[in-house]
């Protein structure tokens, strides 16, 4: 039996691929919260504008937490995104750069859009617009539009980077939009898979602030998030296989093995979501199971996606490039500071949590 992708590649390529995947997964945690969270806020905002939200909505505690934490989540998503952005430049430099250049202004637009989204999130959190349903609704929908634009741009960029044959004609046309029938199915897959992660994180957050949430509202929120997680995990599980396989039919076993892993994770998550929805509460065991299921599902998805990319772009030239660029000079420094950094972050979280919980 062949080794599992990416372990069947030469060592420098394995090294950078694994680092890319690990850091991408960290980014996925925050990205999912922002992507699904912005959609939840946008939909809630629209419902509020249309007068469709009952006063005692089960979503009220959820939107409250989202408004409070989305600015930080967006900052964290951007920060977490820097490392995979770095490693993709090692792995597929020519392809990534070319896709950026071909999309030009339309690609660069994601940066001001992110800044706008960030300030809109603070505006959404501001006391000044509390109770002003129309304003809140518009702001929330603008945030959703900004985040969806960024997500769409990334999917388009990824597919364009893989389509070498299209580069000359894309450049000649001067178009900053790349047409590919797989863009929206892939975007849909990312959105679907983001919801279960966001639901899990929100349930952990609601659990942490259980003392400040009314029990009835907490139960309603748990049920709603459980059902949301359940529905979207099923959608992601069903969509993952056709969406990823159709974009790289030659990936074969490299991809299908990881898709099986993704489906296994989805099954685990579905079981946990069913428990959460039925019990209207999220016990640590159920939440841990949902977290593990989502984690495994995402591992399967991102590695399968990478296998698809490798089956299209990989080859002797790119392997040779990795071997040439690959160097351990500086790695020890990175490792040492990574350990120190993790220790510093752990200390901050522990110390601040302790003092915040301390009775005043």
In the complex, the residues that contact another protein under the rule CB under 8 A are 71-72, 74-76, 78-79, 81-83, 85-87, 89-90, 93-94, 97-98, 100-102, 104, 107-108, 111, 114-115, 118, 122, 167-168, 171-174, 320-321, 324-325, 327-331, 333-334, 337-338, 340-341, 344-345, 348-349, 351-352, 355-356, 360
Q: What's the rounded Cα separation, in Å, for the pair 294 and 283? A: 16
Closest approach, Cβ 86 to another protein, in A, equals 5
Contact between residue 196 and residue 52 where contact means Cβ atoms under 8 Å apart: no
User: Which residue, 51 or 329, has its beta carbon nearer to another protein?
Assistant: 329
User: Which residue, 90 or 255, has its beta carbon nearer to another protein?
Assistant: 90
Contact between residue 283 and residue 248 where contact means Cβ atoms under 8 Å apart: no
User: Could you tell me where the DSSP H helices lie in 209-283?
Assistant: 215-247, 252-279
| Tokens representing residue 333 in the block | 């420094």
User: Which residue, 150 or 222, has its beta carbon nearer to another protein?
Assistant: 150
Q: What's the rounded Cα separation, in Å, for the pair 227 and 202? A: 13
| Tokens representing residue 293 in the block | 């299921």
Contact between residue 241 and residue 100 where contact means Cβ atoms under 8 Å apart: no
Closest approach, Cβ 57 to another protein, in A, equals 26
User: Which residue, 79 or 246, has its beta carbon nearer to another protein?
Assistant: 79
Q: Which residues are CB-contacts of 96 (< 8 A; sequence separation ≥ 6)? A: 88, 89, 157, 161
Q: What's the rounded Cα separation, in Å, for the pair 107 and 85? A: 14
Closest approach, Cβ 180 to another protein, in A, equals 18
Q: Which residues of 42-67 are buried (b: 16+ CB within 10 A; e: fewer)?
A: bbbbbbbbeeebeeebbbbbbbbbbb
User: Which residue, 8 or 100, has its beta carbon nearer to another protein?
Assistant: 100
Closest approach, Cβ 329 to another protein, in A, equals 5
Closest approach, Cβ 172 to another protein, in A, equals 5
Closest approach, Cβ 319 to another protein, in A, equals 12
User: Which residue, 55 or 128, has its beta carbon nearer to another protein?
Assistant: 128
């Amino acid at each position: 039996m062949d080794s599992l992708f990416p372990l069947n590649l030469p060592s420098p390529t394995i090294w950078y691929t694994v680092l890319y995947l690990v850091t991408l997964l960290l980014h996925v945690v925050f990205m999912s919260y922002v992507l699904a969270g912005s959609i939840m806020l946008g939909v809630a905002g629209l419902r509020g504008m249309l007068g469709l939200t009952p006063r005692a909505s089960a979503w009220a505690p959820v939107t409250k937490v989202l408004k409070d934490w989305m600015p930080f989540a967006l900052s964290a998503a951007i920060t977490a995104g820097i490392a995979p952005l770095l490693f993709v430049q090692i792995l597929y430099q020519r392809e990534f750069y070319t896709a950026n250049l071909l999309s030009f202004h339309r690609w660069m637009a994601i940066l001001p859009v992110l800044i706008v989204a960030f300030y809109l999130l603070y505006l959404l959190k501001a006391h000044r617009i509390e109770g002003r349903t129309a304003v809140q609704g518009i702001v929330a929908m603008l945030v959703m539009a900004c985040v969806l634009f960024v997500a769409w741009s990334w999917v388009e960029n990824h597919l364009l980077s893989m389509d070498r044959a299209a580069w000359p004609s894309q450049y000649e046309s001067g178009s900053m939009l790349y047409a590919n029938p797989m863009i929206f199915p892939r975007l849909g897959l990312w959105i679907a898979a983001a919801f279960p992660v966001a639901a899990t994180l929100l349930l952990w957050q609601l659990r942490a602030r259980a003392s400040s949430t009314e029990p009835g509202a907490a139960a309603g929120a748990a049920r709603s998030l459980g059902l949301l997680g359940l529905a979207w995990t099923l959608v992601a599980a069903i969509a993952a296989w056709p969406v990823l396989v159709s974009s790289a039919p030659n990936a074969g076993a490299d991809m299908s093995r990881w898709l099986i892993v993704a489906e296994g994770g989805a099954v685990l998550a579905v079981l946990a979501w069913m428990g959460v929805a039925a019990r209207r509460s999220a016990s640590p065991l159920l939440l841990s199971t949902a977290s593990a299921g989502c984690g495994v599902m995402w591992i399967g998805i991102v590695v399968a996606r990478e296998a698809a990319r490798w089956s299209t772009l990989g080859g002797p030239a790119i392997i040779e490039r990795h071997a040439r660029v690959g160097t351990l000079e500086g790695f020890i420094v990175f490792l040492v500071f990574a350990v120190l950094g993790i220790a510093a972050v752990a200390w901050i979280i522990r110390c601040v949590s302790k003092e915040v919980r301390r009775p005043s």
